[in-house]
Amino acid sequence: MELELPSLPRILLTFPRKRSTFVSTNFSRRHAFTLVELLVVIAIIGVLIALLLPAVQQAREAARRMQCSNNLKQMGLAAHNFQDTYGYLPGGARDGHTTYDWKCCNSRHSSGWSWMFQILPYVEQTAIYELGKSGDSSEDVNNTKHSAVGATFAPIFNCPSRRGIQTFSGSYRADYAANGGESSSPNALTSGNAGVIRQTESQGWKNVIERIKDGSSNTLMFGEKSLHDTAWGADGGDNEPWHNAGWDQDIVRYGALISSGTKYGVPPIPDTKGRHLVDGSWMFDPSVPNGNTWFTPSGTKQWHTYFGSPHPGGAMFVLADGSVQHVPFTVDTETMRRLSVANDGLVVELP
């Protein structure tokens, strides 16, 4: 007889697995930039900025130049609308009043104020025009409306590429001037009536588009003045209010001149060449190529007469037909003279 032993309970023994010390290659080790890598990245960013910055600056200047062009376009259209209303173009006009004297610098009548003041209603600036209009009946040289108008400014008369809008001696200045044509002496009252905008309020000198024999598409009407690139009001041609009557170079400038019987064209110049030279006078010597001084035959210094611009390459003008033209600083002097003189009968090809 066999004896059966009692069954013992089964015990399952488990042992923890030994972890492998092997590191899987499926995960990459993280690490920081080295100094060399950081310098390379900085260098690349610097190169990109150097490449992009000029493009950004050019784009901004292109926008400012477009605004300047639009300003001139509006002035040209305003001059045409002025003629449609009154039968003649706005005048320069002379300082003082033809009936009394030529005292500088406030016209006795606001009707004799600058062409810029006269076209205000046609450039959506009627409020400024009305501010000075009531001065028409005043016979006082120091018209009480004069200061109030001078202290108010229409942005259309400022080039956005320039030094900004600010006052000098309580009055604003303008960046644009009318084409007075050809000058024999910058300070002569009889000078500067060969262009489109005449320098006098005298009825006999009033001009109309139809009298331009050379064609309205071949004659300059308004353009940018050459000005000191940083200073305000320190020199002749920039020292009187924007609305002031003026036969001087604050209101009207020239693209042509006569010196000792010889006729010259005066191309526009960049503002960097438009700085005041000697004793507050602007000078140009036509006998010197690209000269920067101007003397009369007697050697007397005169005021600045140039057109000019802060834009690269040339200045902006509006022609008598209302179209806007870029005239390069390198324009041929004879071409510039013909563009400036309205009735010389000479053929001109736009630059």
What does the pLDDT look like over 281-307, one tens digit per residue? 444 444 444 444 443 333 444 456 778
- Structurally, how many domains does the chain consist of? 1
Instruction: Return the pLDDT at 205.
Output: 61
- Six-digit token pair at 321? 């037909």
Q: Which of 54-63, 95-104, 120-129, 164-173 has the lowest mean pLDDT?
A: 95-104
Question: In this structure, is residue 22 part of a structural domain?
Answer: no
Question: In this structure, is residue 229 part of a structural domain?
Answer: yes
Residue 125's contacts (CB-CB under 8 Å, 6 or more residues apart) are: 154, 156
Q: Tell me the pLDDT of the chain averaged across its residues.
A: 73
End-to-end Cα distance, the chain? 136
Question: In this structure, is residue 249 part of a structural domain?
Answer: yes
SS3 call for 223: strand
- Six-digit token pair at 163? 């030094």
Asked if the model's pLDDT at residue 327 lies above 90, the reply is yes
Instruction: Return the pLDDT at 232.
Output: 61
> How much is the CA Rg of the chain, to the nearest whole Å?
35
SS3 call for 55: helix
d(CA 83, CA 290): 38
Residue 254's contacts (CB-CB under 8 Å, 6 or more residues apart) are: 179, 180, 181, 182, 183, 186, 192, 195, 266, 305, 307, 340
Q: Which of 17-26, 115-124, 217-226, 315-324 has the lowest mean pLDDT?
A: 17-26
Q: What percent of the chain has pLDDT over 90?
A: 13
Q: Which domain holds residue 280?
A: 72-340
Q: What percent of the chain has pLDDT over 70?
A: 61
The answer to whether 100 and 108 are in contact (CB under 8 A) is: yes
Question: In this structure, is residue 25 part of a structural domain?
Answer: no
The answer to whether 252 and 92 are in contact (CB under 8 A) is: yes
Asked if the model's pLDDT at residue 194 lies above 70, the reply is yes
Question: In this structure, is residue 345 part of a structural domain?
Answer: no
- Six-digit token pair at 8? 């013992």
- Six-digit token pair at 309? 């611009």
Instruction: Return the pLDDT at 290.
Output: 45
d(CA 220, CA 253): 11
Question: In this structure, is residue 325 part of a structural domain?
Answer: yes
Instruction: Return the pLDDT at 296.
Output: 39
Asked if the model's pLDDT at residue 20 lies above 70, the reply is no
d(CA 190, CA 317): 24
Q: Which of 37-41, 229-233, 277-281 has the lowest mean pLDDT?
A: 277-281
Reported as a pLDDT band with limits 50, 70 and 90, residue 328 is very high
Question: In this structure, is residue 311 part of a structural domain?
Answer: yes
Q: Which of 8-22, 151-165, 175-189 has the lowest mean pLDDT?
A: 8-22
d(CA 86, CA 83): 5
Asked if the model's pLDDT at residue 330 lies above 80, the reply is yes
Question: In this structure, is residue 12 part of a structural domain?
Answer: no
Instruction: Return the pLDDT at 304.
Output: 62
Pairing of strands 269-270, 308-309: parallel
